[in-house]
Amino acid sequence: MINVYLVDDHDIVRTGVRRILEDDANISVIGEANTGECAVKWAEGNEADVVLMDLNMPGIGGIEATRRILELNPQQRILILTVAAGEAITDTMDQVGAFGFITKDSLPSDMITAVRKVASGQRLMRAACANSQLVPKEAPSAENFNSLSKRELQIAYYIANGKKAADIAEILELSRKTINSFRYRIFKKLHIESDQEMAKLAAEYGLVDLPFQPNDQ
């Protein structure tokens, strides 16, 4: 039996995913959380064969929750669930240690296959993670995202989702001055001058789930 812990902030999504997974007699959803913080708290004393983690949630979000869970338990296998993904966010997921990702519009059979593979210890290759939505959009400056460090990508993600420096500092437990320093370097590398440009650029390259909602993470 494959035990799955499901993390998503939308009740209707969790209900749908649970039904898809439990249509397979060999998969059981052993618990659910609606925030990254709750998932991390659960991980302090529990583990599953697979944690299916939503990328875009209020609070710390899926990327930071993945990082913190893997600090608690480096052996935990985490599969990211997202609306769409591009090269930049894929690199971030690789860096934090997720086993792969699958889009929310994937076929039920593909989701079950992905969970089975991750449970068996297989890391999903990018081409096999989901459908054509995972292909990064054509962009002449896409390589600029690749120049960002892991921390810079993380902070760029929060900026793109409307988080202010004070909010990001609190989430990442860094000083506001440090966040502003990172922000300056990110903007310089991406050749942008505002948070609005950051949001637009991030949406184009899949750094945020779409449609973009400024107050979501």
In a domain? residue 107: yes
* Model pLDDT, residue 63: 85
Do residues 147 and 129 share a domain? Answer: no
**pLDDT digits over 105-143, tens only?**
788 888 999 999 999 988 886 544 444 333 333 332 545
| Cα–Cα distance, 175 to 210 (Å, whole number) | 29
Output the domain CATH number for residue 101.
3.40.50.2300
Task: Answer yes or no: pTM beyond 0.85.
Answer: no
* Model pLDDT, residue 156: 86
Do residues 122 and 175 share a domain? Answer: no
In a domain? residue 210: no
Do residues 84 and 187 share a domain? Answer: no
**pLDDT digits over 202-214, tens only?**
766 666 543 333 3
* Model pLDDT, residue 161: 81
Do residues 33 and 124 share a domain? Answer: yes
Q: Name 53's bridge partners.
A: 7, 80
Do residues 36 and 58 share a domain? Answer: yes
In a domain? residue 33: yes
Do residues 97 and 154 share a domain? Answer: no
Do residues 128 and 152 share a domain? Answer: no
Indicate the number of domains in the chain: 2
Is 80 exceeded by the pLDDT of residue 95? no
- Expressed as residue numbers, the domain containing 47 is 2-134
| Cα–Cα distance, 147 to 155 (Å, whole number) | 14
In a domain? residue 214: no
Confidence of residue 197 (pLDDT cuts 50, 70, 90): confident
- Rounded to the nearest integer, the mean pLDDT of the chain is 79
Q: How large is the angle between the packed helices 150-160 and 87-96, nearest 10 degrees?
A: 130
| Beta carbons within 8 Å of 84's beta carbon, 6+ residues apart | 103, 133, 134, 206, 209, 210
